[in-house]
Amino acid sequence: MLRAMDSAVAGLRSHQNKLDVVGNNISNVNTFGFKSQNYTFKDAMYQTANGSSGGKAPTGSDASVTGGVGGTNAAQFGYGSMQGTITTDMTSSTPSYVGGFNAAINGSGFFITKSTADKIDQSGATTQENSDKLKAAAISYTRVGQLSVDANGYVVDANGNYVFGFQPETPNASVPNYDANKNNLVALRAPHVEAEGGGDPTYSWDEPSQLKSVSIDNDGTIKGVMDANGQAATVIIGKVAIASFQNQDGLLKAGNNTFTAAVGDNTGVATATMPGGSTPTLLAGYLEASNVDLAKEFSDMITTQRGFQANAKMITVSDQILEELVNMKR
C-alpha cells in the first residue's frame, strides 16, 4: 500500500476531528457560560530510510590528506498528521443582563454546585488538604449563575443542583457573621421563622419558610423576604462560594454547563472563598455569554475543510496510481 494513502487517511481523520470541535463551538454560540475549544495538529510517526551521520574527518598533513567521509543528513518518510491538543479557552465573555435571581462571576472562578446537600468540610490543617476534600466531593463547577429556590427552600441552579456557600450564624442580623461557619460549605437554604403569639420572631435552619422574594448582591449575599407576624422580614440566606484553581484549564467538561475536578488531576490547588478581595465579585442580574468567536470559527472551518479536501484528493491520486499498476498486467 502506498505511504501517501496512509498519510492521507490519517489527515482525513485528524481534519474530521477538528471539524467536530469547530462544529461543537458553533452550535454553542448562544449557550450561556460555554467555553470554546481549540484543536491543533501534530505530525505522525516517521520511517527512517537513512540515519544522520556526522562523517569522518580526513587524516594526514596538509601535504598528504587521506581518508575521511562526508556527513549526511537523515532521510525519513512521514505518515501524516494526528490530533495534537484540544484545549479549552477559559477567558471570560461578555455578561448579558437578564435580571431576576441570576449572577455572573466578574472574573475567573466557578459556582460550586452538587447533586446532594451534604456539607463539604473545609477545616483541614493545610490548603492542600482542603483542596483534596473539595475535589473529592463530586462537585459540578459552573459559570452559569441561573438560580432559583426549590420547594424545600434550597437555592438550586438550572440543573437542579444545590448551590453551596457559607451560612451566617443568624439569618436576621443586620451585619451577618460567618466566622462560626467559615470552615463548612453548605447547601444554601432559606431559614425557618417562628412568629407565634405576636412576639419577636425567632429563626432557625431546621425547616424553611416560604419566601416572598429572593435576590443576590454583588458580594454574593443572598437575601430573602418572608412574612413574620404579618410584617415583611428580610433574612440572610447565606453567601455563595466561588471556587478557584491554580490551573482552571485542567478542568473536565461534563455537559450541562458544568466542569469537574478530581484529586491528582492537573488543576492544582483548589480553594473555595467568598466573593470580594482577591476573589472576583459578582454581577447581579447578569449571565455570562458564550465566548465563541464566530469569525474565528468560520475561518477555521474553511481552512479545515480545504485540508480535508486536499487529503481526499491525495487518496484519489493514490487510487489512480494503484489502478495503473493493476492495468500493467493487461
Cα–Cα dist 104/99, whole Å: 11
pLDDT of residue 197: 62
pLDDT of residue 21: 97
- No. of helices (H) and no. of strands (E), the chain: 3, 27
Q: Which residue in this structure is represented by grid cell 427552600?
A: 153
Whole-model pTM: value is 0.88
pLDDT of residue 37: 96
Answer yes or no: are the C-beta atoms of 166 and 238 closer than 8 Å.
yes
Distance of CA 145 to the CA centre of its chain: 15
Cα–Cα dist 223/176, whole Å: 11
Query: Mind spelling out the 3-state secondary structure of 289-321?
Result: CCCCCHHHHHHHHHHHHHHHHHHHHHHHHHHHH
Residue 33 per-residue DSSP state: T
What are the average pLDDT values for consecutive 10-residue runs of the chain, which has 330 residues? 86 96 97 96 89 83 74 89 94 94 96 95 93 96 96 94 94 82 92 73 81 94 86 89 96 95 95 92 96 96 96 92 84
Backbone angles phi, psi at 195, to 5 degrees: -135, 50
pLDDT of residue 330: 67
Domain ranges of the chain: 95-288
Cβ neighbours, 10 Å, residue 65: 11
pLDDT of residue 161: 97
Cα–Cα dist 167/161, whole Å: 18
Answer yes or no: are the C-beta atoms of 138 and 132 closer than 8 Å.
no
264 exposure class (CB count in 10 Å sphere: 0-12, 13-18, 19+): exposed
Name the pairing type of β-strands 120-121 and 184-187.
antiparallel
